[in-house]
């Protein structure tokens, strides 16, 4: 039995970590063999790469280096944790995946998206999410939540983050069967309720 791979995407401060963890906890209570992970990170090697990527001191990092580091982190996570969990029949809930690189480094930084997709296919061993929840929140609102704890990516100009958000909209438009847009509500429980409706409908089909 192959498990199911559910990812969460969205721009900075949209609540991905909160909502993905809430869904994971809910699935566990419902009896699903669930696993929660985050990107970049999730395993020892990938967590070390995460620290490099998000360190504000690394101001000289090139766009190419950044893109390749995200892919390297992802490759290790897929090989070491995600694929074994899916083979074991688990529902894997992941905070970010390849769509993030397409949005942030592709639409945001201008790295060729075709190249990112080809490299992503290699890094993920062809793995794609079965369902992606795209949390949508206005860029200025999301960044306001991050004002006291900015990392290297969050510190980028507002226009960059707007490009990222528009990139996510383009991905959702191109892949409506997989990517479901969920508006972020003022109450996190209401947002979670909307997320669960989508996930429950998806899981009932399998």
For each of the chain's 206 residues, which pLDDT tens digit applies? 589 999 999 999 899 999 999 999 999 999 999 999 999 999 999 999 999 999 999 999 999 999 999 999 999 999 999 999 999 999 999 999 999 999 999 999 999 999 999 999 999 999 999 999 999 998 888 888 766 667 899 889 999 999 999 999 999 999 999 999 999 999 999 999 999 999 999 998 75
* pLDDT reported for residue 141: 87
Tell me the C-alpha distance between 137 and 127, whole Å: 27
Tokens of 175: 């892949």
* pLDDT reported for residue 143: 82
Tokens of 8: 């969460």
Of 12, 204, 4, the closest CA to residue 100 belongs to 12
On whether the CB atoms of residues 32 and 1 are closer than 8 A, the answer is no
Which CATH number covers residue 191? 3.40.50.300
Tell me the C-alpha distance between 104 and 63, whole Å: 10
Domain span holding position 165: 4-204
HEC secondary structure over 115-135: HHHHHHHHHCCCCCCCEEEEE
**Residue 179: what are its φ and ψ, rounded to 5°?**
-100, 115
Q: What string of DSSP letters covers 12-68?
A: TTS-HHHHHHHHHHHHHHTT--EEEEESS-SSHHHHHHHHHHH-TT-TT--HHHHHH
Tell me the C-alpha distance between 188 and 199, whole Å: 16
On whether the CB atoms of residues 78 and 98 are closer than 8 A, the answer is no
DSSP secondary-structure letter at 103?
I
Tell me the C-alpha distance between 8 and 102, whole Å: 14
On whether the CB atoms of residues 153 and 63 are closer than 8 A, the answer is no
* pLDDT reported for residue 146: 64
> Which helix (H) or strand (E) is 94 found in, with range?
strand 91-95
How many domains, the chain? 1
Full-model pTM: 0.95
């Amino acid at each position: 039995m192959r498990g199911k791979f559910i990812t969460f995407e969205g721009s900075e401060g949209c609540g991905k970590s909160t909502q993905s963890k809430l869904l994971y906890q809910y699935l566990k209570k419902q009896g699903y063999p669930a696993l929660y992970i985050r990107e970049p990170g999730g395993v020892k090697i990938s967590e070390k790469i995460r620290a490099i990527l998000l360190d504000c001191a690394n101001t000289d990092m090139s766009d190419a280096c950044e893109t390749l580091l995200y892919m390297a982190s992802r490759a290790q996570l897929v090989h070491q944790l995600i694929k074994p969990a899916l083979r074991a029949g688990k529902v894997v809930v992941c905070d970010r995946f390849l769509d993030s690189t397409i949005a942030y480094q592709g639409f945001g930084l201008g790295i060729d998206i075709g190249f990112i997709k080809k490299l992503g296919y290699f890094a993920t061993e062809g793995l794609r999410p079965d369902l992606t929840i795209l949390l949508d929140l206005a860029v200025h609102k999301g960044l306001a939540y991050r004002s006291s704890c900015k990392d290297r990516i969050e510190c980028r100009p507002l226009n960059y983050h707007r490009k990222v958000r528009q990139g996510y909209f383009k991905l959702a438009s191109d892949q409506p069967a997989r990517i479901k847009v969920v508006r972020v509500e003022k109450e996190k429980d209401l947002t979670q309720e909307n997320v669960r409706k989508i996930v429950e409908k998806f899981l009932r089909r399998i």
